[in-house]
Amino acid sequence: MTHIAQMLETHPAATSSGVDRSVLLQCIEACFDCAQSCTSCADACLGEQQHLDQLVRCIRLNLDCADVCETTGRLVLRQTQPDWSVIRTQLQACVAACRACGDECQQHADGMGMEHCRVCAESCRRCAEACEQLLAALPA
């Protein structure tokens, strides 16, 4: 069991929110995973000397998506007295950031064979899906 899963299980509010634990956990882990992939992809693109000028928009979106996913992960991770309206809008922002960044990365994976962009696109897609699943499971 990951440390995040153990933290959720030992949290004093663990059973109070009514949100399915596995949906919650998948979203948290996908957000942090995507934040890290995007931080790394921005840096990997910056190291692509021959193609750097074609990767400017990708780096920009990677940096934004990393910040958005990190913040979203922190909000969803916190279990004490959640404000669902705040969490809901942040999850929507995260879906938008992951869709935009994932699409951009996929283009460079397909067009230039950029392997780090392919991995990052996968992280972005999984995170967008996990956020959408949590959005569907949140209390009204």
Binding site for a copy of itself (CB under 8 A): 2-4, 6-8, 10-13, 28, 32-33, 36-37, 39-44, 46-49, 52-53, 56-57, 59-61, 63-65, 67-68, 70-71, 73-75, 77-83, 85-90, 92-93, 95-97, 100, 115-116, 118-120, 122-123
Cα distances (Å, whole numbers) of residue 89 to 47, 85, 106, 131: 34, 6, 26, 11
Please report how close the Cβ of residue 137 comes to a copy of itself at its closest, in angstroms.
19
Closer residue to a copy of itself (CB): 4 or 138: 4
80, amino acid identity: T
Distance (Å, whole) CA 32 – CA 54? 27
111-35-115 Cα angle (round to 5) = 25
Give the count of beta carbons closer than 10 Å to the beta carbon of residue 113: 9
Torsions phi, psi for 63 (to 5 deg) = -65, -45
Tokens representing 63 are 């940096």
Residues comprising the chain, all counted = 140
